[in-house]
Amino acid sequence: MSGTGWSIKLYDVADEVIWAVRLNCTWLAFTLLGGVALGIGPATLAAYSLARRRSFGESFHIVPAFQAEFRREFRRGTFVVLPVVAAAVVLIGNYLYFASLGAKAALPRLVVLAALAALGVITAYLLPMAVHYDLGIRTLLPKASLIALARPASSVVLAFVAVCIGYVSAKFPVLGILLAGGAWIQLNTWLCLRFFAENEARLHLKGTS
């Protein structure tokens, strides 16, 4: 029984790794097919939508399902994701600029780094929220910011997972290219679905008390 149990666990782990690679490659392919600028938004929401379905135990063929979600989320994905990408690019550019100035720019560099970390945590809630709830584009950012502030422990968990994936990707670049994006999207979605459920349960208890 013990050997069988370990075999099943290893199979499940291998299945999740293969799924993450497939999700990552499909996300990259559709991002490139959209010319990056017009592809990254709908491709990202499509990937998060499939990660959500996977977390709920649904079975589907990834390419046709991704294509359908890509088309459905084209406009919404563009308006949700592109501003986040643009803000991240600006902050990273500012950080690199201040870093090039050396010690005299240590304070502004730390401020930009803090802003970049805050943007990362908020985005970690925003993207799963965009595919899990029926919310308007304008309400997503305030809602994601609120839950990030209201759940500091959950935010630390998300940041820790992101740092771990980033560290492994830096140490093993090929593995990062093949796996990192899909692994983050799936783990981010899986964790946030649980955080959302806990938050809804807590709000429900408050409402009935």
CB under 8 Å to 161, separation ≥6 — which residues? 184, 187, 188, 191
121 is in which domain, residue-wise?
Answer: 2-208
DSSP string, 15-54: HHHHHHHHHHHHHHHHHHHTTTTTTHHHHHHHHHHHHHHH
What was the pLDDT predicted at 66? 98
* Per-residue model confidence as pLDDT tens digits over 130-157: 999 999 999 999 999 999 998 999 999 9
pLDDT digits (tens, 9 = 90+) for 32-81: 999 999 999 999 999 999 999 999 999 999 999 999 999 999 999 999 99
CA distance 55 to 190: 6
Domain tally, the chain? 1
Q: Cα–Cα distance between 102 and 92 in angstroms, integer?
A: 16
